[in-house]
Chain A
Amino acid sequence: MNTQTIRQAFYKSIPVLAGYVVIGMGFGILMRNAGYGAAWAAAMSIFMYAGSMQYVGVGLLTGGASVLTTAITTFMVNARHLFYSISMINTYKDAGKYKPFMIFALTDETYSLLCDGKIPAGVEPERYRFFVSFFNYCYWIAGSILGNLLGAVVPFSTAGIEFSMTALFVAAFTEQWLETKNHVPALTGLLCTLLSLAVFGRENFLIPAMLLITLALSLLRRDGEETL
């Protein structure tokens, strides 16, 4: 039963493996070029574990940003994690001893793997979710250390491999679309984000998009929660 849970969790995490190793390596290389060794790259991956923010963070470190600027930038870039946590409160409620790590490790990709609340037949739910989170965490740390140590030495062209993260979200979106009858939440997410992108531009649209999504979903609730 135990190995079955771990095997299923590993299988679930495979789509993230290539993406995290490669994007993690990209981060490691960036840190190396900025003059930071493997221990620094590893420390950021271990303690922050937030992909896009780590890329932004390299700029903050080299640019000599202030503590306040760093705190505000981190808040802006990572505010979406509030939403991931809100929507996992119920799913994670019985996670017990695994819970602190699972909350810490709730990245975009881990969220997209676990947010539908489904688990394979015959696995222990809490342990399964823990191991999916844990495998992803390992890929990310390994990637950032490897990238930092090896530099840009990769035997074949990996141009375009970063698309695997986009593909992960598109697959999750499609799967959720096929599984649910009511497409209002999915369409709300797409439309609010597109609207926000058009109004605020590609640098600043994420937080307005989240507020707009929350507002729209809250207004839609009045029409009858049962229909959603």
Chain B
Amino acid sequence: MKSSLLIAVMAIVTILLRFIPFLMFRKHTPQYILYLGKVLPQAIIGMLVVFCLKDISPSGHLSGIPELTAVACVAGAQAWKRNSLLSILAGTILYMALVQTVFC
């Protein structure tokens, strides 16, 4: 069945993308790659934050206010208590309250 074939293709490409760097640098990891490994996490997390907020537009009817308020809440809570679970919970509850009541 064609669906099985397409799922297999998607799975194989995804698995290859995850394994290739490990296989390429199995024996010896160049300094440059180690350097990238050190600085990429912070840059990539920054990228993911922007990626998650990409659908906010100034002209949208919600104007991104719930998103930005909740992001500020998470960052503030994290800076204050340094407890990720608490920050994520607080921000998510705030966001859900905002989109279900104020900005619905």
Contacts and interface: CB of A to CB of B under 8 A. Distances in A.
A163 B36 contact: no
Contact of B13 (A11, A14, A71, A83): A71
B70 A163 contact: yes
Q: What class of interface size applies to chain A in its complex with B?
A: 35 or more
Interface in B34-71: 34-55, 66-67, 70-71
Contacts of B95: 160, 163, 167
Contact of A170 (B25, B42, B44, B74): B74
A167 B70 contact: yes
Contacts of B92: 18, 160-161, 163-164, 167
The majority secondary structure among interface residues of chain A is: helix
A125 interface: no
A85 B44 contact: no
Contacts of B14: 48-50, 53, 74, 78, 81
A218 to B, nearest CB: 8
B69 to A, nearest CB: 11
A128 interface: no
A86 interface: yes
Contacts of B52: 165-166, 169
Nearest to A85: B21
Interface of B: 2-3, 5-11, 13-15, 17-22, 25, 29, 32-55, 66-67, 70-71, 74-75, 78-79, 82, 84-85, 87-89, 91-92, 95-96, 98-100, 104
19 contacts: A18-B92, A40-B3, A67-B5, A80-B44, A82-B17, A82-B20, A84-B44, A85-B22, A89-B29, A104-B18, A115-B44, A166-B67, A168-B84, A170-B78, A173-B46, A176-B41, A190-B46, A197-B54, A221-B32
Interface of A: 11, 14-15, 18, 36, 40, 43-44, 47-50, 53, 57, 60-61, 64-65, 67, 70-71, 74-75, 78-92, 99, 103-104, 106, 108, 111-112, 115-116, 157-161, 163-178, 180, 184-190, 192-194, 197, 202, 205-206, 209-210, 213-214, 217-218, 221, 225, 228
